[in-house]
Amino acid sequence: MTRQIHVKGIPIGGGAPVSVQSMTTTDTCDVSATLAQIQRLADAGCDIVRLAVPTNAAAEAVRAIAERSPLPIVADIHFNYALALKCAENGAAKLRINPGNIGKPEYVKLVADACRERGIPIRIGVNAGSLEKELLAKYGSPTPEALAESAIGHVRLLEDAGFGDIAVSMKSSDVVTTVAAYEAFAASFDYPLHVGITEAGSGQRGIIKAAMGIGSLLLRGIGDTIRVSLTGDPVPEVTAAIEILETAGLRKIRGLHLISCPTCGRCKVNLEALIADFNAGVTEEVRKRGLTVAIMGCEVNGPGEAREADYGLAAGPVRATLFAKGEVIGKVEIADAVQALIKLI
Ligand code: SF4
């Protein structure tokens, strides 16, 4: 098991529930736009939010944002130790900075000391796109070994500064490389891992890449906090991350979990229409109950799924069998089946 760190009260690692992170896309200096986006992320279920801090003005804005943000703030900094110190002072709950990019060891020590005094963890975020030149020369490309070696190098610099409140990520846009890099690192270290597929793209392809990479790691027991990276508005990142956790069995499914079959030549009803009717007819109150409902196209696999669900309907050519809590309730005409199911629920 990994060791545990805390991001302003949110535990990461050590068996804590896997948390969901995202990153704002607003200009951090625009405090009100950034806070509005953070509120939308919080409403979607995000636990921790990261902001880009490329300038002194952005580091100043971190204070106003951290004071009013509903979520703990992670300041994302590259190269500049002075910005890291300012963000630590201004209320950031965590820093993302790679100590190997800071420069002199005394600067690394200053950042480590500032974080230690305030109980602020540091995430080392290795990215295939910005790997050290020496490692690229040694391995020829951003291989899993190169990513893991880069992470270990950064870890050693913080350890040398007497700092161990660390989370680590090793992201590539290639799923297989990313999974192998995390596996290699996790075999030797117990630092909590922030997992994700970087620059996954957008739309269905991006979500599939994220789900494959993050899901594979979670099912291997690797990953303490996750971020889905998608081009565009960040709220869908949070929705996708939560659904990955639900699918991996790490969170109870929110809302209504609808199970339906793909249909095949045995199906003699318009299952799509039945599901559309069900979705149109079911109330918000029912959706919030966390129920599993099965709507199945025939009486081959239908009864089995419907029996396992909280409520279910297995359609036959003329009538449908209704189920509640594993028991057959009765048969109804197909035309009345959806309304009967909704009434039953
Ligand atoms: S439940 Fe029946 S209709 Fe649906 S896919 Fe399976 S066999 Fe086909």
CATH code assigned at 66: 3.20.20.20
Q: Which residues, other chains included, contact 254 with Cβ-Cβ below 8 Å and sequence gap of 6+?
A: 45, 242, 246, 290
Tell me, yes or no, if the pTM score tops 0.85. Answer: yes
Same domain, 161 and 103: yes
Question: Are 100 and 243 in a shared domain?
Answer: yes
Q: Which atom of ligand 1 is nearest to the CA of 267?
A: 3
Residue where a domain stops, chosen among 247, 280, 312? 247
Q: Whose CA is nearest to atom 2 of ligand 1?
A: 298
Lowest mean pLDDT among 38-42, 107-111, 195-199: 195-199
**Distance between Cα 298 and ligand 1 center (Å):** 5
Q: Which atom of ligand 1 is least distant from the CA of 264?
A: 8
Return mean pLDDT, the chain. 95
pLDDT band at 266 (very low <50, low <70, confident <90, very high): very high
How crowded is residue 134: how many other Cβ atoms within 10 Å of its Cβ?
12
307 in the same domain as 199 = no
Under a CB-based contact definition with an 8 Å cutoff, are residues 163 and 102 in contact? no
Closest C-alpha residue for ligand 1 atom 1: 301
Whether residue 220 has pLDDT greater than 90: yes
Q: Are 81 and 222 found together in one domain? A: yes
> How confident is the model over 103-109, as a mean pLDDT?
91
Phi then psi dihedrals of residue 225, to 5 deg: -150, 145
Given 247, 266, 287, the domain boundary residue is 247
What separation in Å is there between the alpha carbon of 103 and the centre of ligand 1?
Answer: 62
Whether 193 and 335 map to the same domain: the answer is no
Is residue 200 pLDDT above 80, yes or no? no
What is the pLDDT, as a whole number, of residue 212?
A: 97
Q: What distance in angstroms lies between residue 314's CA and the mean position of ligand 1's atoms?
A: 10
Report the percent of the chain where pLDDT is more than 90.
91
Q: Would you place residue 2 in the very low, low, confident or very high pLDDT band (cuts 50, 70, 90)? A: very high
- Beta-bridged to residue 7, according to DSSP, are 10
Q: Give the per-residue pLDDT at 143.
A: 96
Rounded distance from Cα 291 to ligand 1 centre (Å): 22
| Residue 252 counted as domain residue | no
The pLDDT value recorded for residue 255 is: 86
Reference 312, options 87, 303, 221; nearest CA is 303
Which CATH number belongs to the domain containing residue 305 in this structure?
3.30.413.10
Residue 305 Cα: closest atom of ligand 1: 1
pLDDT confidence of residue 253: 84
Query: pLDDT band for position 203 (50/70/90)?
Result: confident
**For ligand 1, atom 6: residue with the closest CA:** 301
Q: Tell me: the pLDDT tens digits for 120-166?
A: 999 999 999 889 999 999 999 999 999 999 999 999 999 999 999 99
Nearest ligand 1 atom, CA 298: 2
Residue 199 has pLDDT above 80, yes or no: no
Question: pLDDT confidence of 18, banded at 50, 70, 90?
Answer: very high
d(CA 59, CA 31): 11
The DSSP output letter for 128 is G
- How many A from CA of 191 to the centre of ligand 1? 46
Q: How large is the average pLDDT for residues 258-278? A: 94
Instruction: Looking at the structure, tell me whether residues 116 and 234 fall in a common domain.
Output: yes
Same domain, residue pair 38 and 62:
yes
Query: Which tens digits make up the pLDDT trace of 294-310?
Result: 999 998 888 998 999 99
Mean pLDDT for 248-256 is 90
Residues 191 and 118 in one domain: yes
To test the pocket of ligand 1, the residue of 269, 296, 307, 321 to mutate (highest count of ligand atoms within 8 Å of its CB) is 296
Of 225, 247, 269, the last residue of a domain is 247
Task: Tell me how far the alpha carbon of residue 183 lies from the centroid of ligand 1, in angstroms.
Answer: 38
In a domain, 101, yes or no: yes
**Angle in degrees, CA 196, 246, 49, rounded to 5:** 45
In the block, residue with structure tokens 């922030």: 194
pLDDT of the residue at 202: 81
Is 96 in the same domain as 233?
Answer: yes
Within a domain: residue 317?
A: yes
Are 197 and 175 in contact by the 8 Å Cβ rule? The answer is yes
Domain contains 40? yes
Q: How far is the CA of 271 from the centre of ligand 1 (A)?
A: 10
Q: Which residues of 240-251 are buried (b: 16+ CB within 10 A; e: fewer)?
A: bbbbbbeebeeb
Confidence of residue 229 (pLDDT cuts 50, 70, 90): very high
User: Does residue 29 fall inside a structural domain?
Assistant: yes
Q: How far is the CA of 315 from the centre of ligand 1 (A)?
A: 10
Query: What residues make up the domain containing 157?
Result: 5-247
CA of 343 to the centre of ligand 1 (A): 24
Distance 296 CA to ligand 1 centre (A): 7
Residues 167, 303: one domain? Answer: no
**Ligand 1, pocket-test mutation among 260, 275, 300, 321, most atoms within 8 A of CB:** 300
Please tell me whether residues 168 and 103 are part of one structural domain. yes
User: Pocket around ligand 1: residues whose beta carbon is below 6 Å from it?
Assistant: 261-264, 266-267, 296-298, 300-302
301 CA: nearest ligand 1 atom = 1
Q: Which atom of ligand 1 is nearest to the CA of 262?
A: 5
Number of domains in the chain: 2
Beta carbons of 66 and 41 less than 8 angstroms apart: no
Give the per-residue pLDDT at 198: 87
Question: How far is CA 240 from each of CA 21, 26, 220, 292, 330, rounded to the nearest angstrom?
Answer: 11, 20, 19, 19, 37
Q: When comparing pLDDT for 49 and 254, which is higher?
A: 49
- Residue 89 belongs to a domain: yes
Separation CA 33–CA 307 (nearest Å): 48
Verify that 196 and 269 share a domain, yes or no. Answer: no
E strand spans, the chain = 5-7, 10-12, 19-23, 48-52, 73-76, 94-96, 122-127, 166-171, 194-195, 225-227, 257-260, 292-296, 311-315, 319-324, 327-333
Using DSSP, state whether 104 is helix, strand or coil: coil
Distant-in-sequence, close-in-space partners of 157: CB < 8 Å, separation ≥ 6: 99, 100, 105, 108
